[in-house]
Structure 1
Amino acid sequence: MTSWDIKPQGVQSQLKLTGERAGDLEKALNKLMSDMSEAAYAAGTAIPGSAAKVPSPAMQGPVATGQVPLSHRGSTGPVGAALSQYLEKRQTDLTAMVNRIQAAVLGAAKATNEYVQGDLEAAKEAQDAAKSVRLDQLKDAAGGAK
């Protein structure tokens, strides 16, 4: 990296916009979790009558904030189990997505701060940490804490 030409005000503007979009994404993911949980519960069970009220070890995926986990709502049937498995399989992808957004925002902020202070090597390190999603390096280093 031979030279940088960063406009800190432009970075700040983009980080603010990214933060707003990340908030929208958080709301959408919470809605997804809530809707999937409701769908699993509403689908019912394959157990006839009152036998469905006996608690069973239902599979459970991620649950939206403030929602009751599926295992605490009584039995779920095959549709509920399938939805739960689907969310469990997607949890890794969703977590990776959140971590990448956080790393990009923290890395851009830290790299820009280092650039403004004239430390191009530290700016490059912050940029590299963001690329490799090293949140530990970005949060623990000066200027990277929330």
Structure 2
Amino acid sequence: MTAWDIKPQGVQGQLQVTGTHAGDLEKALTALVTTMSEAATAAGTAVPGSEASVPLQGPVPVGAAPLSAPTLGPVASALSQYLETRQGYLKSMAERIQAAVLGAAKATNEYVAGDLDAAKHAQDAAKAVRLDLLKDAPGGHK
């Protein structure tokens, strides 16, 4: 790691592109969860007629949701399990993107400040997806 040749403007441009794509990914994942929730509700149940919802009695504040809710069936359960299984993967993906962006920005800032050791630490923290080190560590001290 003795010879670095970083072009900060190029890194900044790539980080902006990556940020745009990360925003698009976030929108797509939000749409996925919304659509699957709607599909789960619309899928119905294996329970006939009026047994498909449990009406509850009682006063409801103005603007609040009704107390009764439809019973969700096997399709809703399967979709829920699908999302629960994928939740860890989606979280890991988001953390890796965040670590890569923070690590590249921090390493570049340290490089510009002349602190190559701190730049290497930022790179290593990004590789290990150590968001705590990337968010909390001060930068550019040399």
Q: Same-fold call, TM > 0.5?
A: yes
Q: CA RMSD in A?
A: 1.6
The verdict on how the C-alpha distance between 1:75 and 1:105 changes in structure 2, with shifts beyond 3 A counting, is same
Percent identity for Structure 1 against Structure 2: 72
Q: 2: CA distance between counterparts of 1:4 and 1:18?
A: 22
Relative distance call for 1:35 and 1:73 in structure 2 (3 A) is farther
Q: Is the 8 A contact 1:41 1:73 kept in 2?
A: no
Measured in 2, the distance between the counterparts of 1:84 and 1:11 equals 39
User: Equivalent residue of 1:54, what SS?
Assistant: coil
Deviations, residues 104-133 of structure 1 (Å, cap 9, x unaligned): 000000000000000000000000000000
Match for residue 79 of structure 1?
A: 75
Q: Which digits, 9 at most, give the CA deviation of each residue in 1:52-85, with x for residues without a partner?
A: 1128xxxxxxxxxxxx9xxx95311000100000
Aligned residues: 128
Long gaps (5+) in structure 1 = 56-67
Which one is further off, 73-82 or 102-111? 73-82
Residue 114 of structure 2 aligns to a residue whose secondary structure is coil
SS of aligned partner of 2:5? coil
Unaligned runs of 5+ in 2: 56-64
Correspondence 1:104 to 2:113:
no
Q: 4+ residue runs of structure 1 moved beyond 3 angstroms?
A: none
Asked whether the 8 Å contact 2:44–2:72 carries over to 1, the reply is: yes
Q: 2: distance between equivalents of 1:73 and 1:111?
A: 51
TM (norm. structure 2) is 0.86
